[in-house]
Amino acid sequence: MRRKVIQIADSTQLISLPRKWALSHNIKKGDELDIIEKESQLIIQTPKSKNSSNITVEIQNLDRDSIMFLIRALYKNGYDEITIKFENSLCDNFRTKEKMKIIDVIRSEISRLNGVELFTQKENYCVIRNISEDTTRAFDSMLKRLFMLASETMQDLIEGYERNDAALLETIQKKHDVVTKFTVYCQRLLNKIEDSQFKRNELVFHILEIIDTIMDLLKYNSRKILKDKVKASAKSVKVCKAIHKSFNMYVELFYNFDMEKIYELNKNRYSVLRELSELQNKIHKDEFSIISNMSQILEYVLGLTNSSIALNY
């Protein structure tokens, strides 16, 4: 189908919507539509998700973590209604070496997921149902918020480490959980929305997985600092701040892609690695362990950068 372009004033051009399509989607005056640019294409769509889908699963002989990962995977895949059946009411928690109520595990995982609720609860099954509208605009907003919160969490970890602030370090766990909630919601939206601004959604999905892994690293580092009462020297804090700088440089690259930014990212990366090597025998082993763990973020940022290059070419 072709449409003629109508020129309005000097800077505005219009095309009309196909009447049949507008009627079928109940488009009215004043409604907003999503417009996605893909090279030579303009994709016009209503801010709605794919058709709803349901699934039923049985969770026999699964432990706490397996149940959580299964629910999270189904959520990411975009199911709107998930029925979970179980014969036994208890499951193993290998971390605590105790039994847990399956329904408590399910409730705990749901609390980490955006836009779903436990809709029905019976003796041997429950139903999780989506209560939100999944749209392209929701994804764009959530992704920006996710990057911001991930950077802030890294900043708080470094400040807590530098100031020996246990109270600030203890907040990292909750901040990790919030970012994880946003991450899996973004992954869900990538599977739900008809089209996005990205040429390859699987690359963005991978980027989100790496962000989630970085958040895990921050969580474990905060626990180690608190548990072992690790003290920070000015030199190790300097390294941590340079690593944080790399992450922020990547966020800027993601939203404003430029190969020259990658040059600066690589320059910063190798500078940090050299400093890390020089500090190996000059600081306490526990302190070196912290910055060595933090340096893994440089490798994750490298993976993020490679994915962004692929997204833009």
What pLDDT digit, counting tens, does each position of 8-62 carry? 877 788 888 888 878 777 788 888 887 777 667 777 777 654 556 889 999 988 9
Q: Supply the pLDDT for residue 38.
A: 66
Which region among 50-64, 157-171, 234-248, 290-304 has the lowest average model confidence (pLDDT)? 50-64
**Confidence grade of residue 194 (pLDDT, cut at 50, 70, 90):** low
* Sole residue written with tokens 């060595």: 292
Backbone angles phi, psi at 31, to 5 degrees: -65, 150
List the structure tokens of 212: 């989630």
Indicate the class that CATH gives domain 54-130.
Answer: alpha beta
* Sole residue written with tokens 């548990």: 227
CA-based radius of gyration for the chain: 23
Rounded CA-CA distance 302/305 in Å is 5
Mean pLDDT of 207-232: 96
List the structure tokens of 264: 């600066």
Q: Which residues lie below 8 Å from residue 73, measured CB to CB, with a gap of 6+?
A: none
pTM exceeds 0.85 for this model: no
Q: Supply the pLDDT for residue 49.
A: 46
> Residues 80, 130: contact at Cβ < 8 Å?
yes
What is the 3 state secondary structure string of the chain?
CCCCCEEECCCEEECCCCHHHHHHCCCCCCCCCEEEEECCEEEEECCCECCCCEEEEECCCCCHHHHHHHHHHHHHCCCCEEEEECCCCEEEECCCCEEEEHHHHHHHHHCCCCCEEEEEECCCEEEEEECCCCCHHHHHHHHHHHHHHHHHHHHHHHHHHHHCCHHHHCCHHHHHHHHHHHHHHHHHHHHHECCCCCCCHHHHHHHHHHHHHHHHHHHHHHHHHHHHCCCCCHHHHHHHHHHHHHHHHHHHHHHCCCHHHHHHHHHHHHHHHHHHHHHCCCCCHHHHHHHHHHHHHHHHHHHHHHHHHHHCC
Chain centre distance of CA 42: 27
Indicate the class that CATH gives domain 136-311.
Answer: mainly alpha
Chain centre distance of CA 176: 11
- Please, what is the average pLDDT of the chain? 88
Mean pLDDT of 286-303: 95
The answer on pLDDT for 200 being more than 90 is: no
Q: Supply the pLDDT for residue 21.
A: 79
Mean pLDDT of 53-79: 92
pLDDT tens per residue, range 102-158: 999 999 999 888 888 888 888 889 999 987 776 667 788 889 999 999 999 999 999
